[in-house]
Amino acid sequence: MNSIASILKKDEFTSEDIVKLLSISEPESLEELRIAAEKVLLKYRGPSVYFRGLVEFSNICTSDCYYCGIRKSNSQVKRYLISKEQIIDGALWCAQQGYGSIVLQSGERQDSAFTDFITDTVRTIKNVTRSENLPGGLGITLCVGEQTRQTYQKFFDAGAHRYLLRIETSDKELFSSIHPPAQTFDSRVKCLQTLKEIGFLVGTGVMIGLPGQTPEHLANDILFFKNIGVDMIGMGPFIVHEQTPFSIYKDEQEGQLESHFLNSLKMIAVTRMVLKDINIAATTALQALKHDGREMGLKFGANVVMPQLTPTEFKKQYMLYEGKPCIDENAEQCKGCLSRRIQSVGRSVAINLWGDRRAVHKV
């Protein structure tokens, strides 16, 4: 038996095992990894794919991450905040389509006008989407950055039960090389812990292909996910945006896109093998690199897809990275296209279900 096959037979993985799996380069071994990850997915979660309608409701951001297209110093971005009514319309549409959940994502702002807007919107979504088909209303995921404990608690009390906050990288040094000093690794970790304490299902994730990132960093990222006990993962390739300080990596990235893409698929598969029953998203960034990137993500162990609900007029202003796909499509088109893509890989879309790995107990 080759060494990859013997690692794939294990139930628990060491750091060395993970590095070996992430370093796979032969197509046969990659396929072995894919099959093993798919098997774990089917055993622990079954074939269902869960839709979470994604509304990028504001691109106003007080952070200045070196890699991100909507960083506050990018003066070429036209800033917006979608009205509460438009978000509610999106939520109602989502519920009608049988999507069990919605994700509200935005740039980072801590002022109370903004956080109160979110709390109020969450409460309203809950009120208007309860139905016979969906007794608990839409499941609500927030992805609005670092906030105080009090703010997180308000979001939770209003009815949000999941929170996504990517660690971006679990390596402290690498973290500080991609963020300005105002943002710290310790503060991000503290937020993840606070979210867990409050009772949220917590999601995190990393970017793959960051300048200076090694297979060891990525292996440690997976162990980090395990150690903090995450419920959800969203990760994808880092893609250069011209209007950011990281545009200096443009040329370097050209030759590496293929390997970033493959590394992203391997990260999904190995995360599935190690964490088994969590939810893993096949992210849009995967599709930015390959037209069938999201289907590939599903085949390598992902089980969540986030169809775009952001009104088309705003999508072009929410470019975190270049080449973001589907920006001219409306929500209806996104739904049809994604359902076809999911069927094409032999899986089915779950209807009117939250699809969480465990129930949330509100305290």
Nearer to ligand 5AD, 22 or 319 (CB): 319
| 352 Ramachandran zone, left/alpha/beta (phi>0; psi -120 to 50) | left
Q: Which is nearer to ligand 5AD, 124 or 253 (CB)?
A: 253
Q: Which of residues 289-348 bind ligand 5AD (CB under 6 A)?
A: 320-321
Among 231, 229, 251, 173, smallest CA distance to 360 is for 231
Q: Which is nearer to ligand 5AD, 34 or 166 (CB)?
A: 166
Binding mask 124-163 for ligand 5AD (x = CB under 6 A): ----------------------------------------
Q: Closer CB to ligand 5AD, residue 207 or residue 331?
A: 207
Of 20 and 217, CB closest to ligand 5AD? 217
Look-up of token digits 């609005």: 144
By CB under 6 A, which span of 131-139, 235-243, 250-258, 264-272 interacts with ligand 5AD? 235-243
Q: Please name which of 335, 275, 321 lies closest in space to residue 49, comparing C-alpha atoms.
A: 335
Q: Where are the alpha helices (DSSP H) in the chain?
A: 3-8, 15-22, 27-44, 84-97, 112-129, 149-158, 172-178, 185-198, 215-228, 250-254, 257-275, 284-289, 293-299, 312-315, 331-344
Find the shortest distance in angstroms from Cβ 168 to ligand 5AD: 5
DSSP 8-state code for residue 278:
S
Among 67, 155, 300, 354, the residue binding ligand 5AD under the rule CB under 6 A is: 67
Rule CB under 6 A: which of 188-227 touch ligand 5AD? 207
Radius of gyration of the chain (CA): 19
Binding footprint of ligand 5AD on the chain (CB under 6 A): 67-68, 166, 168, 207, 238-239, 241, 285, 320-321
